[in-house]
Homo-oligomer: A and B are copies of this chain.
Amino acid sequence: MTSATKRIRRTAEDARRQILDAAEARMAQSGPAGIRLQDVAADLGISHPVILHHFGNREGLIRALTHRAVVELKDKLMVAIESSDVHTEDILGEVFNAFRGGLAQRLAWLAIAGTDADHEQHDMVTLEIVRTIQEKRVESAPPGVVIDEEDTKSIVYLVTAAAFGDAIFGSQLRRRAGLAADAAASAAFRHWFARLLRTHLGEDEEPEAAGGCPA
């Protein structure tokens, strides 16, 4: 802790990445308002002016943080949607997992105290996801069946909101019940939720009942 005066010199890219990692960890706990440059620097064992050097000022760091979170969410969600073979439960698991690891917390901060810049990005993400899922539903639907896009929007909205809330509230219940119990409970809920959606989508028995009951 005293000397060992070997000064470590990172590439600018590496330094930025490490700083963002440390700042993310802090933000997940205390939110953007709780980020202290000196604390972040201390976590990395560097001096705080390094952060100023790489991000200009504190606000620059926050901006970079928001950009990173939105991109991370988009990437995870797109992978979740495109990789799995439209099996409801698989997608659900991927989406729920996408929010874990502090991402939900970070997004909560940004959604609440967010700047104007990331709003458009966030909306674009939503639109892109809705479009992708809508295409998949249309493809896999029997000919002649119309898939209501509003129904798809609602599903995406519900799943996103639920996964988000699960990540936020679930972590609270987790601390009391221990990890094993939590993982099981979380999985059970996802299973229940998947069945609810499957019946709505008609994946189970009724093929033509995709979205919206024909009154």
Contacts and interface: CB of A to CB of B under 8 A. Distances in A.
Interface of A: 28-31, 33-34, 105, 108-109, 111-114, 119, 122-123, 150-151, 154, 157-158, 160-162, 164-166, 168-169, 171-173, 175-176, 188-189, 192-193, 195-196, 198-200, 202, 204-206, 208-215
Copies in the complex: 2
Contact of A31 (B113, B122, B161, B205): B113
Contact of A212 (B28, B188, B209): B209
In the A-B complex, the 5 residue pairs with the closest CB atoms: A199-B211, A161-B165, A33-B34, A213-B213, A209-B213
B196 A200 contact: yes
11 contacts: A29-B112, A108-B112, A150-B188, A158-B162, A158-B196, A161-B165, A162-B162, A202-B213, A204-B212, A205-B212, A206-B213
A57 B103 CA distance: 32
Contacts of A204: 211-212
Interface centre among A160, A166, A173, A196 (most CB of B within 10 A): A196
Contacts of A173: 123
